[in-house]
Every structure is written in C-alpha cells, then in structure tokens.
C-alpha cells in the first residue's frame, strides 16, 4: 500500500546543505500498523510528510497503492490525499473559531458533499468519538483530550484507508494518550493502514511493527506482538 524506494531528502539552511533522509527504502503493506521512532531530528516527520504527499524527495520515489505520487501534478496529489489519507497531528490543527461540528465538516465541504450530508456525517463521527453532546462547542471550550477527539473525527470524515499520525499523544496526559492508542487499534482492526511517528514508547508498543530512524537512515525494522489486548470502547474514558 505504501512504499518508499531509495528516498533521499536534502535541505538547504543558511546556505548549508543538510540531509533529512538518506537512501531510505520502506514497504508498508495494507493493514499494517507501524510506529516510526528515533531521536529528535532523525527524519521521522520528514518521512511521514513524504508518505502523505506533502514533501517531495530530492531523489527516489514514493508509492501509494502502486502510484508514484510525486510523478503526479499538485492537484492530482491533493486528490490522492483527499481520497485515501487521513492526518492526525500533535497540535490538532483545529480552526479555533469553528465549532466541533464545523471543524469536522471542513474536509466534507472541500469534497463538495451536500451540506445536509456534511452535518449528518459530522454528527455521526463526533458521536462515535464520544462528543455527541459537544457539537456546538469551539476548541477553547473543550479539554485537550476532547480537542484531540474532534481531530480524530475530522480525520475520519473522508473514510481514509491510510492514517498518518505525527505525535498523536504528544500533548496528552498518559491516560488520555492510552485511549487515543486504543482508538487507533480499533481503526487498524477495521483494516486501515496506520503509520505513526512517536517519542512515546508505550504508544509505539501498541503498533504491530517498529521502525527506528537514526541520522536519516533506517536503523532497525522489527515486528512485535502486542503486550495486551486493546480496550473497547476505546474512547469511553476520555
């Protein structure tokens, strides 16, 4: 489903060239759940952005469903993201002046879904993450955990088959972070492919596979068994 072939990424900062990724090859089959770990500045987020079609490599190719996405036009690449990929970020990226329901409606609006269907889908998704009674609340009126749940509902709006998460538990207390990981477990059991960058080794332990990046190169790539079953319902105790 996701594949990187000999990916190298150079950055130029203050007239000096630095290497973000160096000849990285990675194959992520459908239904996998991969945790990307490593020191700060090792290239984890660069890798994730490239998989999501948001940062072009200096050399090499990235494939989504056997389609080389950086051989596509900018608009075609945006279509791939909209149709297949959901993003979750540490900072949530909610629009502060929109309600929870309006935030979830944003990708549906961009997909040109009729307004009535937008609202119906937003209500259904927010109810799924336990926020059926917070539809009209703005981000400032919700806890950090509730804001993350809005972000999760928005991520699911276009029913993505691939989820890319950058430090999804980074701003959360341990208990709330655990419930987010339980939710990812549910998404993975539904057949979604998940790639997650994290510094939290407890979160990484919930994945099926861990890829460690050091100095822009893959250092280890190992499968792992889950230590314990994921809890259901995942978001009951947010």
* pLDDT digit string, tens, across residues 113-123: 999 999 999 99
Segment 145-160 shows an average pLDDT of 94
pLDDT value for 225: 57
Mean pLDDT of the chain: 91
- Asked whether 68 and 189 are in contact (CB, 8 A), the reply is no
Peptide bond into 233 cis (omega under 30): yes
Tokens describing residue 97: 């002046």
Check residue 162 and give its pLDDT: 97
What pLDDT digit, counting tens, does each position of 18-77 carry? Answer: 899 999 999 999 999 999 999 998 999 999 999 999 999 999 999 999 999 999 999 999
pLDDT for 171: 84
Tell me if 90 sits within 8 A of 196, measured CB to CB: no
For the question of whether the overall pTM of this predicted structure is more than 0.85, the answer is yes
Tokens of 170: 């980074």
The whole-number pLDDT of residue 231 equals 40
The domains located in the chain, with CATH, are 2-94+160-223 (3.40.50.300)
Contact (CB, 8 A) for 100 and 118 = no
Read off the tokens for 17: 């060239």
DSSP structural state of residue 222: E
pLDDT for residue 168 is more than 50: yes
Per-residue pLDDT tens digits for 183-234: 999 999 999 999 999 999 989 999 999 999 999 999 999 997 544 444 444 4
| Residues 140-145, mean pLDDT to the nearest whole number | 94
The reported pLDDT for the residue numbered 193 is 97
Provide mean pLDDT across the span 91-112. 93
Answer yes or no: are the C-beta atoms of 122 and 108 closer than 8 Å.
yes
């Amino acid at each position: 489903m996701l594949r990187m072939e000999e990916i190298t990424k150079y950055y130029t900062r203050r007239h000096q060239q630095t290497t973000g990724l160096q000849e990285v090859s990675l194959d992520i089959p459908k239904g996998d759940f991969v945790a990307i770990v490593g020191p700060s500045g090792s290239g984890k987020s660069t890798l994730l952005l490239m998989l999501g079609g948001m940062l072009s490599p200096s050399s090499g190719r990235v494939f989504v469903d056997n389609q080389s996405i950086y051989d596509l036009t900018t608009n075609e690449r945006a279509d791939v993201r909209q149709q297949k990929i959901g993003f979750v970020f540490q900072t949530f990226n909610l629009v502060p002046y929109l309600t929870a329901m309006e935030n979830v409606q944003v990708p549906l609006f961009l997909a040109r879904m009729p307004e009535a269907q937008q609202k119906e889908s937003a209500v259904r998704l927010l109810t799924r993450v336990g926020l059926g009674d917070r539809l009209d609340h703005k981000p400032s009126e919700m806890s950090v955990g509730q804001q993350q749940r809005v972000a999760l509902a928005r991520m699911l709006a276009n029913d993505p088959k691939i989820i890319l998460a950058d430090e999804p538990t980074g701003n959360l207390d341990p208990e709330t972070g655990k419930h987010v990981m339980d939710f990812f477990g549910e998404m993975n059991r539904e057949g979604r492919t998940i790639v997650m960058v994290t510094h939290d080794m407890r979160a990484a332990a919930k994945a099926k596979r861990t890829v460690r990046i050091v100095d822009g190169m893959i250092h280890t790539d190992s499968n792992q068994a889950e230590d314990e079953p994921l809890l259901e319902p995942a978001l009951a105790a947010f």
